[in-house]
Amino acid sequence: MQRILLAIMSGSLAVAGLLGPVGTALAADSTSGRSINLITSPLPIDLNTKPGTTVSTDLRIKQADGVPETLQVSLLKFGAFGEEGKPELLDRGPGDTYFDWVSFDKTHFTAQSDVWQTVHMTINVPKDAANGYYYAVTFTRVGDAIRQPGSTNSLAGGTSILVLLNAEVPNQKRDMTLTSFTTDHRFYEFLPSTFNIKFHNDGNIHLVPTGDVFITKGNTNVATLDYNNEQGNILPNSNRIYTTAWTNGWPHAEQVLKDGKAVVASNGQDKMHLVYTNGTFDNGSTDKSLIPHLRIGKYTAHLVAVYDNGVRDVPIEATLTFWVIPWRFLLGALVIALLIGFGIWALARGVWRGVGRLSRSRKGSKRR
């Protein structure tokens, strides 16, 4: 009897042992092959506080998969990379103790489809904190980042909310230099002309430059272009390039569209075509407001940038010149002018010869 009981028990354990992994595998595999659709808000988050205080913010996440999902929250950091200063997502490094300042009211939770969930993020900023800390709070679906059976790769999709924390201390270094102010070309046949404004943050806290590019021809201002309306930051000790384009010219080049999407050429650039009007009004008439804006000649772009150094707004200025020469238009106009000139010349010559013939015939008749 004992043997039978032992056999039953060991058999049960064996079954349980088998079922365990199967059950786990099933749970882990429950998202297999399924799409993931995550929406986060707001973005990014800019927090300013003093060392020794606590600051918190709400992060909102919604999934739109049509079924409940279990989501998880994880913490990364971000920096800036490359000449353009785009954000770079990074794992926690060995010395990144500021990750320990952060806590969430929930890190795993069930999210119903199309229902916003709020995750409360709290940062206990210690007294010795100073300047900028850059967090990336990432949301992913539980069960996505696991090994799939067979030769199937797993793709775990996630969204990240970037959080910029400024631990305000006296004497923060808020300094920035203009690295370059350029156009993509010196000569254009038609607009748009694109201006690249590259800054370097020489300080130890993120900065936001703003300003305008004034386009003048001679002493006349013909356009004012904003840049960085979105108030994009430059992280410390990094570059960032802002671009703005002058498009208001007749004609000007625009993206080629197909099914409402921009078409990309084989060289990776947007396909462009010339546009002669601003489209049509609601009543069907053509918007011809572009037509007076034939751009031709030498133009000057004057950049006026401003950033806050903590005491005052610091201006930065730069100037460049560029040319707009619609050479095909000019060539066409020259050909037309030549044709007209030739026509006039031919007409005048015909008249002159006719007069000459008439004069000669009159002289001849007088002689007779």
Among 47, 178, 222, 245, interactor with other proteins by CB under 8 A: 245
Type and span of the H or E element at 122: strand 117-124
Task: Select from 154-162, 176-184, 288-296, 324-332 the region that touches other proteins (CB under 8 A).
Answer: 154-162
Distance between CA atoms of residues 85 and 242, nearest Å:
10
Residue number, 9 or 27, with CB nearest to other proteins:
27
**CB of 16 or CB of 89, closer to other proteins:** 89
14, 15, 25, 43: residue in contact with other proteins (rule CB under 8 A):
43
Nearer to other proteins, 79 or 126 (CB): 79
Of the pair 12, 154, the CB lying nearest other proteins is at 154
Residue type at 171?
N
Interface residues for other proteins in 257-286 (CB under 8 A)?
Answer: 257, 260-262, 264, 268, 270
In Å, how far are 99, 148, 244 from 226, measured between CA atoms?
Answer: 37, 49, 7
Q: How far is the CB of 316 from other proteins (least distance, A)?
A: 21
Applying CB under 8 A, which part among 13-21, 89-97, 177-185, 293-301 lies near other proteins? 89-97
> Residue 146, SS3?
coil
Contact 56, 105 (CB under 8 A): no
| Pair 215, 300: CB distance under 8 Å | yes
SS (H, E, C) 188-248: ECCECEEEEEEEEECCCCCECCEEEEEEEECCEEEEEEEECCCCCCECCCCEEEEEEEECC
Nearer to other proteins, 245 or 325 (CB): 245
Q: Under the rule (CB under 8 A), what is the footprint of other proteins?
A: 31-44, 46, 60, 64, 76, 81, 86-91, 136, 138, 140-141, 144-162, 164, 229-230, 232-233, 243, 245, 247, 255, 257, 260-262, 264, 268, 270
